[in-house]
Structure 1
C-alpha cells in the first residue's frame, strides 16, 4: 500500500537530558487507522507534536506524502489535521467562525457548503452560532475535530480523542473515524482506552520510554502474542491434579470442580485435543468447557512490563 507518512530515526532529547524519543522508525499506509499505545510519559504526544511541527526533533526525518517535513514544511503540514489532547480554542468565538477561520489559516478558499456539511456530520450545525464557552465538554471536543478537518487534511492525528467524554460521544466519534477512513483519510490516534484500539485500529504500535517496541497488525498481534485460558467444569471434583496430566501445567479452581489450562494461541491445535484425550484415557470427565482469549490490553500490559524490566536490568548492569 502507498505510504503517506514515513518517520525515520526520530529522536528527541530535551535540555534537561531527558530522552523523550529514541530512534523511532514508522511507516503509515494511506487510509489506515493506526493506534499508538503507551503509558503516560512514553512519548506518544512528543511524537505527534514533532510530526505536526509543534516540537523540533533532535534527530531523524519525517516525510508526509513525499514532502520532507523540514525542507517543505508548509506542504507537509497542510496535509495534517490535529486534534490535541487538551481543549483550547477561542471561548468567545462562535462555532462556525472558529472552524471557518481554521480553514483560512491553511490557505483554503472559503467553502460554506463544506463547512456546513462538516458541522452537520459532527452534530454541531444547530450550535453553529453558539459561543464555544457555552458548549459542554463533549461539544467542545467535536469543535476541535471540526477545526482539524476544516482544511481537508489527508492525515488526522487524534491525541486521546475520547478522554473525558461519555460513552455515547465515544461511539459517535468511532463512527466518524470509520467514515473518514472510507473517504481515504489516514487516522493516527493515541489512546489509553485499549478497547478503542481494539475496536477501530488496523495496526497497533506500542511505545515505552521513547522507544517503539512493537508495530503489528491488530489481529496478527492478538494471535501471535495472545494467550487463551481453557476452563473445564469437571463431572466430579478432584483433590489434586493427576500425575498423568503434569505435562499441561494445569491448575485446580472452584474447590476442585474446575480444571484450568492456560496456553499460547499457537499451541491450541495440539495442546487442547491431546489434553482431552488424556483425560478420557484416565477417566476424568467434564460437563462443560469454555475458553477465553487474551485481550489487546493483556498483551499491551505484558509488553510494557517486559520492556521496562529489560531496560531496568540493562541500566543496573551498566
Structure 2
C-alpha cells in the first residue's frame, strides 16, 4: 500500500474528499487483525488495489473441465431441413419439384408404356435414380394377350425368341419377358395334358400323342434357350443395369427356375433314352432321359381282367 501526503493542505481542517475515522466503512476481516485507531488524523490516502482472477484448473479426479473449454451450445448447429427435392432431368424424363418422402410419377419415355417413379428422400433424390422397371415395349403386351388367348405355347415361345433377338430392350422388358417365359411353361404344361393318351385311344393314336408331346417340348426348349441367350447378351446389359439389385436378383432367379422346369418337362416326355444338347453364347443345356423312364403304362394294350 502506498501512502501519499500532500503538504499543501491545511491540517486543521480535513479536505472534503477525506473521510474522518468515524465516517470510514467498517474494515473487512483479514487473516491478520488491523491496528487499532490511535486518533491521529491522517492525510489524504490513495489506495490502489488490483485483483486478478486465475482460471479454474482442470481436475482429472472428478473430470472437471473449465467452462471456457466447453463449446457453447450455439456452435453445435443441426443441419437445415430441406423440405423439397429440386426439379431435374433424369432418365430422359423431367421430374418436378417434389416434397420429401413423396414419390414423383411420370409417363415412361416415348416408345414405351407404363409409369416411371422417382422417390424424394429427406430433401434429396434417391441415389439409385428413377425406377424404370415398369417401362416396357408395346410388344410385351402383345405376347401377353396371345398367351391368354390359348395359342400354342411352342409357337409363341419361338416368336418371343425372334422378338428379343432384334428389339432394343427397355428396363421393363427384362422382367416382362421373364414372366412371359414362366407363363409359357405353365401354358405348355396344360397343353401337354391334352395330349395324354386316354383309355379309349388306340395304340397308334396313343403313340402319336406321345410323339407330339416330345416334339412340342423339344421345339419349346430350343426357343427358350435362344430367348435366355438374348436376355444375357451384351446388348441387353443397359436394360439389366437400369433395374434395382432386388429386381435383378428376382429376374435371374425366376429365369433359372423357368429353364429348369422346362428341361424337366422335356426329360419326362422323351420316348427313348437320349441326350439333348442346346448350346449358345451364354447358355448351355444338356438333357438326358433316365434309363428307367418308360411310357408303356400309358398305352392301352390290354384290359384289366381283375387279376
Query: TM-score, normalised on structure 1?
Result: 0.20
Structure number with greater Rg is 2
Query: TM-score, normalised on structure 2?
Result: 0.21
Which structure features the higher share of strand residues? 1
- Which structure carries more relative contact order (alpha carbon 8 Å, separation 6+)? 1
